[in-house]
Chains A and B, each alone.
Chain A
Amino acid sequence: MVINKLNFPVYGLFLVVSLICGLIFNYFYLKKCKIQKRIIFHYLILFIPFALVFGFTLSSFISKDGGLSSYAGAIGVIVGAIVYEKICPSNKIFIKCSIMSLPLIYSVAKIGCFLAGCCYGLPYNKIFSVTYPQGLNIPLVPIQLIETIVFLILFFIILLIEKKHNKNIISITIVLCSIVKFLLDFLRYDHLNTTITLNQIISIVFVIIAILLNKKTHI
């Protein structure tokens, strides 16, 4: 994106902003759960490095064009929370709040994808279609914006469910996000001549893992 003749790296900017949003949510949620500030501070130090390192390292295996994979970053965030839970056991509160922050992080990061012109949708020339002159130069489904809005709504729904029930919120979040991502993936350009994409396979795996975890540990 060009702003005032400066080619602005909006993708990187929104990636950082999305992680900061996740950090802020984690801070306030843990503060609300009366965790000591010192403990929260040490957890937040791990948050971004885990997300970025796993995001870049695993993406080289998950993403066919070498791009960043959202699932890789999500795995990084969850692994970071599990590691910190081992250092500072607190009834899985770190795992819970890190997983609850994932839809918010994904939603904000997709704005960067929309502005940068990547992860675009299927060809579509009706209302709200988007054309990237530097890219395919054909009208496409604004799938990035759809994902932003849907995952933001999902984030608030998860907050409401957590407020009312609080049990099984980890598995509920994973199942809901994976199912929504699975369905929205049908509108992405990668799905043009493919029956099922790698992202959809990973979504199915996550749903299975979440259901098994729920049966075994009721989280």
Chain B
Amino acid sequence: MKCKNCGKEISEGATFCSECGTKIGEEKQVQENNIQNEKRILSSMSNGTFFCMLSLISLFLSFFVKVAKLGILSKFSSLFSLAALVLCIYARVKYPKSIFAKVLLVIYIIFIILTIAFIIFIIIACKNMLAGCSNIGLLFYGY
């Protein structure tokens, strides 16, 4: 007969599997545990995906609010971007097995680094515009 846990051939009358050590008769318990673990992983991944989708929606909203120039709401478009980052980190912390959350966080980190590099480039390039901290505030107030 075969071990139900690892599939190795075991002799009739054996009480333990020589390959994985599972007690014959306890395979059903191990199988049930494996099924439970798989269900937990799938549930975790789908919940992680849910928060990642929320994060992407929030990011889209921040671009939309900025581009659509919705009056005073445009000033707070960056808060939508921040919410997107928070949702992604929430997914990553609570659902560590979610691959979507992992990939999305890497993309956000690259985006943040590129944004900071771009800001530094703009500051160096536009030296006439940025005489001091007052002008930096005006630049980003309008961005």
Contact = CB atoms under 8 A, between A and B. Distances in A.
A66 B108 CA distance: 28
Interface string A80-116: 0001100110000000000000000000000011001
Contacts of A134: 131
Contacts of A48: 112, 116
A63 interface: yes
Contacts of B93: 39, 42, 87-88
Given A42-B89, A42-B93, A45-B109, A12 B75 contact: no
Nearest to B76: A57
B136 A45 contact: no
Nearest to A63: B137
B141 A49 contact: no
B86 A83 contact: yes
Given A87-B94, A116-B133, A53 B89 contact: no
A87 B112 contact: no
B130 interface: yes
Interface residues of B, number: 35
A112 B86 CA distance: 30
B133 A113 contact: yes
Contacts of A113: 133
Given A12-B136, A116-B132, A45 B94 contact: no
A56 B137 contact: yes
B81 interface: yes
Contact of B134 (A9, A67, A112): A67
Contact of A60 (B105, B127, B141): B141
A68 B130 contact: no
Contact of B136 (A11, A42, A53): A11
B137 A50 contact: no
Contacts of B78: 53, 56-57
B89 A45 contact: yes
Contacts of A42: 89, 92-93
Contact of A46 (B85, B120, B137): B85
B123 A46 contact: no
A11 B109 contact: no
The 3 closest A-B pairs by CB, nearest first: A7-B127, A67-B134, A56-B140
Interface of A: 7-9, 11-12, 16, 38-39, 42, 45-46, 48-50, 53, 56-57, 59-60, 63, 65-68, 83-84, 87-88, 112-113, 116-119, 134
17 contacts: A9-B123, A12-B130, A42-B93, A45-B109, A45-B112, A49-B85, A50-B82, A53-B82, A56-B140, A59-B137, A60-B75, A65-B134, A66-B138, A83-B86, A112-B133, A118-B134, A119-B133
